[in-house]
Structure 1
Amino acid sequence: MNFRKAEFITSAPSIKECPEESLPEFCFAGRSNVGKSTLINKITNQKKLARTSNTPGKTQQMNYYKIDDEIYIVDLPGFGFAKVPKKERDRWGRDIKQYLLMRKPLKLIFHLVDSRHNPTGLDQEFFYWMASKQKPFAVLLTKADKLSKNKLTQSEKKVNDVLSKMNIEVPVIPCSGDTGKGVQEIQSLITEFKDYDLNE
């Protein structure tokens, strides 16, 4: 894959509205304002493919982007936003879990954590949930350009320590949607998992 051709396909409010299961899917999940859209734009070499916003909770549906006519990247609604009514947050949570559990073409979950902060309780619950459901995932430490090399190393160690205590071993990639740090590693993971059959 060369990650040169990218187009927005649809916004799906629930799994019923997702596109036909025809291409491998890679989803991006995490708290609101963690930098999902900026990172997706960088990975796909686009400036305005995914809409970025300073308002948490702006992504309210599963946004599908077709890349190189080979895969879908799916931007999931962020979790942990305070300004969205609880009833709506609960619905999004159910929809996201249903997607993660039932969507057959899903190859890999990218869970984004802001490198400037420790993984929250929600982040840790999500780590455990994905592992308990045997869902392949990687942790992306976003906004890595905002930290010194020493601070970033500390941040990476904290995440690895949390995962280790849960007996979880997955890739942890410091990255930045602004500078492109870690983007090549993410692209390599997508290329590697694209043809991986989770049902084998």
Structure 2
Amino acid sequence: MQFHDVKFLLSVHSLKQLPDEDLPEIAFAGRSNVGKSSLMNKLIGRKGMVKVSGRPGKTQGLNYFLVDDKVHLVDLPGYGFAKVSKGMQDSWQGLITAYLENRTTLKCVVVILDIRHGPKNQDTQLLTWLRQQGIPYLPVYTKVDKLSGNERAKNARLLDAGHTISKEQRILFSAKSGLGRDELVQALDRFIEG
């Protein structure tokens, strides 16, 4: 992926709004306020393309971005704490689950985890479910710039152990410094070509 031409395509709130399955898709998932939008903006090289919010639950649909007329990036609503009604959270979950289970062009789910926090039950549930469904995924530990080298290594080991992830399976990432961006692009290219 080159990210020469990136544009917001649409926000999907029901399965019938999904675009035709003619391009490979990479979905981005993570708990609310885990740094998903910042990661996506750093990845595509655009500061405000994916809206960043301090308010959990800002993303309320499946937001589609078209990259170089070749790939769709799909920003999923954050799970976990969000200042929206339980009914809305439940409808997101139904939409997300149906999307992940049935989308034939889905090549990978990038699962974003904040390296500053130990293993969280919701992340474990998502990773376990993706494994059970046979859906390819890529764990990315964000906000690594907020920890010293020793803390970073220790926390990464805790997340690896807590989620049964090997060091080779995941990427350390900083939206601030760009650490891990090239590695992420290469990994996503492999999933798309795979």
Is 1:160 equivalent to 2:193 in the alignment? no
Q: Which runs of 5+ in 1 are unaligned?
A: none
Cα pair 1:156 1:172 within 8 Å, conserved: no
Q: Distance in 1 between matches of 2:46 and 2:184?
A: 16
Taking structure 1 as the reference length, the TM-score comes to 0.92
Residue 4 of structure 1, CA deviation: 2.4
1:53-72 superposed matches below 5 A: 53-72=53-72
Residue 47 of structure 1, CA deviation: 1.1
Q: Distance in 2 between matches of 1:22 and 1:177?
A: 30
1:13 alignment counterpart: 13
Q: Distance in 1 between matches of 2:61 and 2:176?
A: 24
2:119 alignment counterpart: 119
Deviation per CA, 1:141-162, whole angstroms, max 9, x where unpaired? 1111111111111111112112
Structure 1 residue ranges, 4+ long, deviating more than 4 angstroms after superposition: none
Q: Write the letter of the residue equivalent to 2:130.
A: M
Is 1:144 equivalent to 2:163 in the alignment? no
Tell me the matched-pair count.
193
Cα pair 1:32 1:81 within 8 Å, conserved: yes
One of 148, 160, 169 as aligned partner of 1:171: 169
Q: Distance in 1 between matches of 2:94 and 2:7?
A: 27
Cα pair 1:139 1:171 within 8 Å, conserved: yes
Q: Distance in 2 between matches of 1:159 and 1:33?
A: 18
Q: Distance in 2 between matches of 1:28 and 1:82?
A: 17
Residue 163 of structure 1, CA deviation: 3.0
Residue 88 of structure 1, CA deviation: 1.2
1:34 alignment counterpart: 34
2:97 alignment counterpart: 97
2:106 alignment counterpart: 106
SS in 2 for 1:151: helix
Taking structure 2 as the reference length, the TM-score comes to 0.95
Q: Write the letter of the residue equivalent to 2:172.
A: P
Is 1:181 equivalent to 2:189 in the alignment? no
Q: Distance in 2 between matches of 1:110 and 1:31?
A: 12
Is 1:46 equivalent to 2:46 in the alignment? yes
Residue 82 of structure 1, CA deviation: 4.0
2:86 alignment counterpart: 86
Q: Which runs of 5+ in 2 are unaligned?
A: none
Cα pair 2:115 2:159 within 8 Å, conserved: no
RMSD: 1.3
Cα pair 2:119 2:163 within 8 Å, conserved: no
